[in-house]
Amino acid sequence: MRSVCLYFQVHQPYRLRTYRFFNIGHDHYYYDDYQNRHIIRRVAEKCYLPANRMMLQLINEFGKAFKVSYSISGTALDQFAQYVPEVIDSFRQLAATGCVEFISETEYHSLASLGNEQEFIRQIESQRKRIETLFGQTPQTFRNSELIYSDSIGETIANLGFHTILTEGAKHILGWKSPNYIYCNNLNPKLRVLLRNFRLSDDISFRFSEQRWSEWPLTAEKFVGWLNAIDPHEEVVNLYMDYETIGEHQWKETGIFDFFYHLPAAVFSKSNFNFATPEELYQRLQPMGALSVPYAISWADEERDLTAWKGNELQAEAFSKLYSLSDSIAKCDDPVIRRDWGYLQSSNHFYYMSTKWFSAGEVHKHFNPYGSPYDAFINYMNAISDFTIRIEASLSAINAGAGPDDDKPARKAGKKTSAVKIKAVKKTVKSAVKAKKTMASEKVKKEAKLKAAEKPKKTPKTVSAAKKA
């Protein structure tokens, strides 16, 4: 029995708002709430919800025979929770059928695998926990952002206890080999490597509605004909694509829902293929050999390399600036800073800075909120500049907090005022301001008054000292 392995990527980044340089240092909110809410709701309506309904229906129809797998990025999960929680419910319904495998990735759909290994590992661990909590299964399969993979990335993943990783069946690494087998990692043979069949996957995700394509219109029957044409010894066809293919990239009017709806029936009745999840493939199939990938590959563009995210000077600078913060972040436990650190890592921010599309593909423009890669870069760098200031401030606050233990007077604060006091006063002032703003309950007011009363006269003096510091 041969298998079709259907895997869908679900991801939405937190797009940044227009963040000017004069916001740096005092305005710490970076996200375009309106756009993010608008997009996630639109895609939920056009894709996630109806597609999930369809998948559920197919699973019910074919008993346990129809299988599908997903990876949902943490930034998508956050936005679902924030704007369209019913999407999470519908994925949970799918999880409950037992026919759906949830795959792990980096929490923020980041490029941490190329930037900082500790961060990479941290994000994988937290994403794995999220999947466990939400869907009741512990992911054993991993897919890196943009299917980025190399021997050493695979080794890291194996060490984290995953048994399978997904990546691109890039021609230049396969050579004469076929993507339609299972391979193993070159450094750690325990890790299985599944390869995307890019031709058949892209027939659906890119070419489906292309009327100039000689194969248009593509029907489930025709597609199954292509599956049957595959060498009978080959074991698996990995169809990996963005979930947004169904209903967003390919509109409903193109017939994409009908295609997927009729695919299982056509596969079962007209071929010797079944559907399988990566987990089942791992259980059932033996690897054909090790695959050597010394340099990282991805599923992007003709080159299948990293140049869409790390191809020019803009991306290089933004990337190095971002990951130069890794060490400072490790010492920082402010949850808001940690959240922003994650959201700023989404690979999309770097993709927007790519200049590759100047000459080629209009395809990418459609998903780009910026007029030009230069605009994307400036906006991102402004946000990162502010973020850097915040981390520094937070760290110096932590260091200052450690002051009395070390029994060192805070030199900069001067005038005998210890840093601890400044911190305390700062807090007081902050809470007082907050209280003023809310004015909701008497209690808050009283508290604020009480707190203010604690150090009534010192406040102005120490605050100015703090400012100087």
Partner 1 sequence: MKVLMFGWEFPPHITGGLGTACFGLTKGLAKHGVEVIFVVPKSFGDESQDGFRLINASDIELDFTQTLTQEFREKISYMEVGSNLVPYLDPEEFERWYSEEVAGKKSETHSIFSRKYQFSGKYGANLMEEVSRYALVALSVANNFEYDVIHAHDWLTYAAGIAAKKISGKPLIVHVHATEFDRSGENVNKVVYDIERNGMEEADRVITVSNFTRQIVIERYGIPAEKVFTVHNAVEPVDKPEADDVTKHVREKIVTFLGRVTYQKGPDYFVEAAHKVLQRDPNVRFVMAGSGDLLNRMIRRVAQLKMGTRFHFTGFLAGAEVDRMFAMSDVYVMPSVSEPFGISPLEAMRTNVPVVISKQSGVAEVLQHALKVDFWDIDALADAIYGILHYDGLRKMFARYGKSEVDSLIWENAALKVLDVYNNATGH
Q: Under the rule (CB under 8 A), what is the footprint of partner 1?
A: 20-22, 24, 312-318, 355, 358, 371-372, 374-375, 377-378, 381-382, 385
Report whether 132 contacts 95 (CB < 8 A).
no
Minimal distance in Å, beta carbon 49 to partner 1? 37
Shortest gap between Cβ of 358 and partner 1 (angstroms)?
Answer: 5
CA distances from 136 to 28, 123, 132 (A): 35, 19, 5
Nearer to partner 1, 216 or 374 (CB): 374
DSSP per-residue string spanning 308-367: HHHSSHHHHHHHHHHHTTHHHHHT---HHHHHHHHHTTBHHHHHTT--GGGTS-SGGGGG
Shortest CB 34 distance to partner 1, Å = 18
If the CB atoms of residues 17 and 122 are measured against partner 1, the closer one turns out to be 17
Distance CA 281, CA 181 (A): 10
Closest to partner 1 by CB, 66 vs 370, is 370
Nearest residue (CB) to partner 1, 18 versus 272: 18
Question: Using alpha carbons only, how large is the chain's radius of gyration in Å?
Answer: 26
* Side chain identity, residue 202: D
Least gap, CB of 341 to partner 1 (angstroms): 20
What does each C-alpha distance from 379 to 76, 202, 316 come to in angstroms?
Answer: 22, 32, 15
d(CA 17, CA 139): 33
Amino acid letter at 259?
A: F
Q: Please state, in angstroms and rounded to a whole number, the distance separating the CA atoms of residues 133 and 152.
A: 29
Instruction: Give the span between the Cα atoms of 172 and 308, in whole angstroms.
Output: 17
Between 378 and 469, name the residue whose CB sits nearer to partner 1.
378
Least Å distance between CB 260 and partner 1?
Answer: 38
Residue 317 Cβ, how far from partner 1 at the closest point, in Å?
3
Per-residue b or e along 201-234, where b marks 16 or more CB atoms closer than 10 Å to that residue's CB? bebbbbbbbeeeeeeeebebeebbeebeebeeee
User: Is 146 tagged catalytic?
Assistant: yes
Q: What would the two tokens of residue 24 be?
A: 């740096």
Q: Considering 101, 107, 146, 168, which one is annotated as catalytic?
A: 146
Residue 30's contacts (CB-CB under 8 Å, 6 or more residues apart) are 14, 16, 17, 19, 340, 343, 344, 383, 386, 387
Q: Which is nearer to partner 1, 180 or 382 (CB)?
A: 382
Which is nearer to partner 1, 82 or 320 (by Cβ)? 320
To partner 1, the closest distance from the beta carbon of 100 in angstroms equals 42
Chain-centre distance for alpha carbon 66 = 26
d(CA 304, CA 146): 10
Query: Which backbone phi and psi does 249 adopt, to 5 degrees?
Result: -70, -45
For partner 1, which is the closer residue by CB, 10 or 381? 381
Enumerate residues 6+ apart whose C-beta is below 8 A from 62: 264, 268
Rounded CA-CA distance 52/147 in Å is: 23
CB 460, min distance to partner 1, A: 26
Three-class DSSP category at 439: coil
Residues counted in the chain: 469
Pairing of β 164-168 and β 192-196: parallel
Work out how close the CB of 25 gets to partner 1 at its nearest, in angstroms, rounded to a whole number.
Answer: 9
| 358 contact partners, CB below 8 Å, separation of at least 6 | none
Which residue type, as a one-letter code, is found at position 330?
A
Backbone phi, then psi, for 305, in 5-degree steps? -120, -160
Annotated active-site positions, please? Answer: 146
